[in-house]
Amino acid sequence: MTNDHHFAHGTSANSDFILLLLFSVICLLYLYAAVISSRTYRQWPFSRNIYWLLGLLCIAFSVVGPIANLSHINFTAHMTGHLLLGMMAPLFIALAAPVTLILRTLPLQTARKVSRILKSMPIRIFCDPSVASTLNIGGLCILYTTNLYSNMCHFSFLHFIVHLHLFAAGYLFTTSMIYIDKPPHRASHVYRGIVFVLTMAAHGILSKTIYVDPPHGISAIQAENGAKLMYYGGDAIDIFIIIIFFYQWFKARQPHNSLVPEPKKYIHEL
């Protein structure tokens, strides 16, 4: 028993070290790309470096350390990680505009190939607000209304897949709502606003469902605490997205003052 415990602890420590090393490398690569981009084009905004760092920290806190370890046995800790990984991290990463930075840093021919891929029909479909919202909320519904959550806590690979989907779906949804990087297909503000309101409503309904009907293996008190955190924490993060969304909408109505560069200006920056 003791040897098994030490083995598991050592394996966990090694995994945490590898993940932290990976996050450090990704952070440094972004900063290096920002320096290269600033030398070739106009100065890369320093605030985006901060957003990138904050986004990576949110991801790190959700998969490494006390919150990540406790989330296997405590639903409130899991929901804290859910908010960090599925909502806060995508928002910060989106504000860091990583796609724009990649396109500005790559050689011109390679950047054009990547740009064509980003404009392809499959990418346009996944980035559509309705599709992104369905992937985001639909995945959460499957996670919390089936046995997927309890199974996830016992199988490492399933745990990884669920968390990967949680971040990817959250990022797709966030970038389909607010345009920091140039979108592959620009949806109207009215359409995005309607989808966003419906998504917020669905998120609230799901949190209330968890409150009254806990996922398999979760006690009523933990479900209540986790559901409250999901409901109020999710709304708090959504407020920031709403502010950015309406600010962009306001700026888009002002001639020559759009937050997102026009296509010709964008190509010139690359």
Mind listing the pLDDT tens digit of every residue in the chain (270 residues)? 444 344 334 446 677 788 889 999 999 999 999 999 988 888 999 999 999 999 999 999 999 888 988 988 899 999 999 999 999 999 999 999 999 999 999 998 999 999 999 999 999 999 999 999 999 999 999 999 999 998 888 888 898 999 999 999 999 999 999 999 988 888 999 999 999 999 999 999 999 999 999 988 899 999 999 999 999 999 999 999 999 999 999 998 877 554 444 444 433 344
Q: Are 148 and 229 in contact (CB under 8 A)?
A: no
User: Long-range contact list for 211-215, CB < 8 A, 24+ apart?
Assistant: 213/145, 214/75, 215/75, 215/143, 215/144, 215/145, 215/149, 215/150
Is residue 91 within 8 A of residue 50, CB to CB? The reply is no
Question: What is the per-residue pLDDT for 207?
Answer: 96
Number of domains in the chain: 1
> Which of 201, 268, 194 has its CA nearest to residue 234?
201
Output the six-digit token pair for 73: 């046995």
DSSP state of 120: S
Q: Is the pTM of this model over 0.85?
A: yes
Nearest to 185 by CA among 92, 90, 118: 118
What is residue 102's predicted lDDT score, i.e. its pLDDT? 93
pLDDT at 81: 94
Structural domain harbouring 163? 2-269
Q: Tell me the C-alpha distance between 244 and 249, whole Å.
A: 9
**Helix and strand totals (H; E) in the chain:** 14, 0
Check: CB of residue 222 under 8 Å from CB of residue 76.
yes
Q: What is the pLDDT of residue 125?
A: 93
pLDDT of residue 252: 87
Using alpha carbons only, what angle is made at residue 178 by residues 144 and 79, rounded to the nearest 5 degrees?
Answer: 25
